[in-house]
Amino acid sequence: MVIAAWIIIVVLFLVGMAGAVYPVLPGALAIYAAFFVYGFMVGFEPFGVWFWLIQTTIVAVLIVADYAVSAVGAKKFGGTRASVIGSTIGLLIGPFVIPVAGLLIGPFIGAVVGELIVGTEFRQAVRAGIGALVGFFSGLVVKLVLQLLMIVLFIIWVV
């Protein structure tokens, strides 16, 4: 039972880390779910109030940061709400339309198209697209670091 639990936990950790890059995967929630898998299959004894407070806070920060960092990136480069919405749509659709490269091109094209739809000048729309990419990469770094921190804290707590 313990081996099966660890296999599921590792798979959830991998899905969670991949979710930092691919928005269609659950990300931090998969990592959070791994803690419950451990609890139900091995035991909740190692976890105390501090473990759950710290991990839940990290998940909440990740959820808020996921949206806020991208929006800030686009706004810093002069983008409007249209570029934020467009980059989000591009981020979700891009990887399916253009595998691998769509993850990078999608948010950029989405932000540019979003700005052009609302009548923004092309040059400014491109600038907003660059801002969306900066926001995406900034958010990616934040998510990877915080999700890795979640995993490390889990390992420290159970070992």
- H or E element that contains 119: none
Inform me whether the pLDDT recorded for 142 exceeds 80. yes
Q: What is the 3-state secondary structure (H, E, C) of 34-68?
A: HHHHHHHHCCCCCCCHHHHHHHHHHHHHHHHHHHH
> pLDDT band at residue 39, thresholds of 50, 70 and 90?
very high
> Could you tell me if 41 and 5 are in contact, meaning their C-beta atoms sit under 8 angstroms apart?
yes
Type of residue found at 85: I
d(CA 17, CA 31): 8
Range of the domain at 122: 1-158
pTM of the model: 0.84
Tell me the per-residue pLDDT of 42-53, one tens digit each, with 9 for 90 and over. Answer: 999 999 999 999
How many domains is the chain built from? Answer: 1
Q: Which of 69, 83, 66, 64 is nearest to 128 (CA)?
A: 83
CA dihedral 121, 127, 130, 134 (to 10 degrees): -130
**H helical segments located in 22-159:** 28-41, 49-76, 81-97, 102-117, 122-158
Tell me the per-residue pLDDT of 74-113, one tens digit each, with 9 for 90 and over. Answer: 778 888 889 888 988 888 888 888 877 888 898 899 999 9
Distance of CA 120 to the CA centre of its chain: 28
d(CA 114, CA 86): 5
